[in-house]
Amino acid sequence: MLKGRTTRLCNFKHSIILLLSFIISSCSGNFFDTDSKVVLKPTNYSQILGWENENFLNSIEAFAESCAFVRKKELRTEIKKSNGKIILDKGDKLLFDSLDNHLFDVCLLASSKQLNTKHERKTFFEDYFQPYLVINNNSAHFTGYYEPILNGSLTQYREFQYPIYGLPEDLISVDLGLSNSDSKNQKLVGRLQEGKVVPYFTRSEIEDGALANRGLEIIWLDSPIDLFFLHIQGSGRIILEDNKEMRVSFAGKNGHKYFPIGAELVRMGEIEKENISLQSITRWLKNHPKKVRKILNKNPSYIFFRIQDSVLGGPKGAQGSALFPRRSVAIDSNIFNYGYPFWISINHRGNRREKILETLVFGQDTGSAIKGPLRIDVFLGSGREAKIEAGTMNNLGQLFILLPRF
């Protein structure tokens, strides 16, 4: 049985100490224990490098997208504030359940104000949000992701042999928090077999035909490599043969733990660790077509998709909001709730040149590989240029979270 352990908040001078201890179960039966001591240290905007130079373009629009999904919640724990410190009696995400009520109020204020100029937007965030530096034993780790644009067909023929599957009707997801508050945000994913919940099919089993002939195929692609990386990115635009476009977005996953195939290629001695990138992995796969399936199946996680109603705007993130390039990020949703503003500061080689990325972003998405309080995946947009930049982003830096003042 999955057991969560109560997270405690200890009072340190001028800082918030969150003891985040939780055990997450994958439906394959594997358990892993993540203990993270997270310090949320109050700071001020004058101490945030780049804040004064931020243009705030699309910042209110991205925030408004998140606000559409923020809801009042039952206040499950009292938030105590003393000398700039937040003292939490219990629970990791209970902090954010309580703060969501304040975030909801800030959302209402944003919708009632004229926030058109840089100054108005900057002042809004400064007035209603308190910045905290997120600290533990490591620096923040930033990667990038993008929306691929792929060739596809609504029917299986010729080169189009690799299906994008919709959500299977026999996949079940049990919210363990409904029966045990200590297991909040933990889910058991599987399928029923002879009256018992068993792990859902792995990537290898699905590739061997476990879902074939069930009418789950929504689009067919012409490359197993493209299909695999579509799973990694979580959404994509598909160009059909008549040049019409469709967009697919995340609908669910099989519950198995994500395994990075790049780590396997490094272990095999095929790619040097310092040379691992989206581009180097893709190049290796294309140069070793007979080994593609074996390597891809090292990752048992499998993603299911739905057809998005419109190709206008950005793809939908896990929160349900449209994603904005360089404004939307994927976070660990077992730690943070969606919708909160963050400030990121990283040195990044983008499109073959070094640059500093310092900007305001919003937690609107998540991903199988995004685990821990200092793990952030930045949405970089759609198409080839975004793919190139995402493939090179793998950097350390600083992370701030902006919590609503109350």
Say yes or no: 128 and 59 in one domain. Answer: yes
Same domain, 378 and 283: no
Q: Are residues 203 and 165 in contact, defined by beta-carbon separation less than 8 angstroms?
A: no
Q: Which two tokens stand for residue 117?
A: 């100029």
Looking at residue 163, its pLDDT comes to 98
Specify if 201 maps to a domain: no
Q: What is the average pLDDT across 379-385?
A: 94
What percent of the chain shows pLDDT beyond 70?
81
Chain-centroid distance, C-alpha 309: 21
Give the CATH number of the domain where residue 89 resides.
2.40.40.10
pLDDT for residue 144 is more than 60 = yes
Which whole number is the average pLDDT over 32-40?
Answer: 52
Task: Determine, yes or no, domain membership for 60.
Answer: yes
Considering the domain architecture, whether residues 288 and 323 belong to the same structural domain is answered as: no
Q: What's the total number of domains in the chain?
A: 2
Once rounded to an integer, what is the mean pLDDT over residues 167-184? Answer: 77
CA dihedral 352, 356, 358, 359 (to 10 degrees): -20
- Highest mean pLDDT pick, 76-85, 123-132, 329-338: 123-132
Q: What is the pLDDT of residue 12?
A: 30
Is 7 or 162 the better-scoring residue by pLDDT? 162
Final residue in a domain of this structure, among 298, 324, 359: 298
Q: Which of 59-68, 175-184, 186-195, 351-360 has the lowest mean pLDDT?
A: 175-184
For 201-242, strand residue ranges (E) read: 217-221, 235-239
Average pLDDT over residues 356-381: 93
Give me the pLDDT at residue 60, please: 96
Residue in the structure block whose two tokens are 């598909």: 238
Asked if residue 397 belongs to a domain, the reply is yes
**What's residue 17's pLDDT?**
32
pLDDT at position 196 over 70: yes
State the average pLDDT for the chain: 84
Q: Which residues of 228-256 are buried (b: 16+ CB within 10 A; e: fewer)?
A: bbbbbbbbbbbeeeeeeebbbbbbbbbbb
DSSP, collapsed to helix, strand or coil, labels residue 257 as: coil
pLDDT at 84: 55
Mean pLDDT of 178-204: 82
Across 369-374, average pLDDT: 89
Residue where one domain finishes, among candidates 298, 327, 345: 298
Residues 6+ apart with CB under 8 A from 213: none
Residues 57 and 140 in one domain: yes
Contact 209, 220 (CB under 8 A): no
Give the Cα separation of 290 and 210 in Å (integer): 22
End position of a domain, from candidates 298, 324, 353: 298
In a domain, 11, yes or no: no
Determine the pLDDT at residue 11: 35
Q: pLDDT tens digit string along 283-325?
A: 999 999 999 999 999 999 999 999 998 888 899 999 999 999 9
d(CA 117, CA 387) in angstroms, rounded, equals: 31
Looking at residue 186, the DSSP 8-state letter turns out to be -
What is the model's pTM?
Answer: 0.81
User: Strand, helix or coil at 289?
Assistant: helix
Of residues 400, 350, 288, 313, the one with CA closest to residue 280: 288
Sequence-distant (≥ 6) Cβ neighbours of residue 103 within 8 angstroms = 70, 339, 340, 404
Per-residue pLDDT for 83 more than 60? no
Sequence-distant (≥ 6) Cβ neighbours of residue 164 within 8 angstroms = 152, 217, 218, 219, 220, 221, 227, 230, 248, 305
Least confident of 7-21, 128-142, 328-342, 378-392: 7-21
pLDDT reading at 141 higher than 70? yes
pLDDT at position 178 = 63
Let me know: does 292 contact 223? Beta carbons within 8 Å: no
Q: Which residues are CB-contacts of 128 (< 8 A; sequence separation ≥ 6)?
A: 106, 109, 404, 405
Same-domain pairing of 94 and 42: yes
Q: What is the pLDDT of residue 26?
A: 31
Mean pLDDT (whole number) for 96-113: 90
The answer to whether residues 340 and 279 belong to one domain is: no
Under the banding of pLDDT at 50, 70 and 90, the label for residue 264 is: very high
Q: Is 165 exposed, middle or buried (0-12, 13-18, 19+ CB in 10 A)?
A: buried
> Quick one: 379 and 280 in the same domain?
no
Residue 123 lies in a domain: yes
The region, left, alpha or beta by phi > 0 then psi within -120 to 50, assigned to residue 158 is: left
Report pLDDT digits (tens) over 327-351.
999 999 888 899 999 999 997 555 4
| Residue 380 and residue 321 in one domain | yes
Kindly state whether residues 378 and 335 are assigned to the same domain. Answer: yes
Give the number of other Cβ atoms within 10 Å of residue 258's Cβ.
17
Residue 360 lies in a domain: yes
Residue 65 has pLDDT above 60, yes or no: yes
Q: Is 286 within 8 Å of 226 (Cβ atoms)?
A: no
Per-residue model confidence (pLDDT) at position 73: 72
CA 217 to chain centre: 25
Provide the pLDDT for residue 294: 97
Q: How confident is the model at residue 23 (pLDDT cuts 50, 70, 90)?
A: very low
Same domain, 127 and 91: yes
Provide the domain limits for residue 293: 260-298
Which of 7-11, 88-92, 123-127, 400-404 is the least confident region?
7-11
Q: What are phi and psi of 55, to 5 degrees?
A: -90, -15
Between 13 and 229, residue with greater pLDDT: 229
pLDDT score recorded for residue 97: 76
Q: Is residue 24 part of a domain?
A: no
Asked if the structure places residue 367 within a domain, the reply is yes
> What's the mean pLDDT in 123-152?
93
Packing angle between helix 278-287 and helix 224-233, nearest 10 degrees? 160
Whose structure tokens read 């952030």? 376
Q: How far apart are CA 87 and CA 103, in angstroms?
A: 18
pLDDT at 95 over 80: no
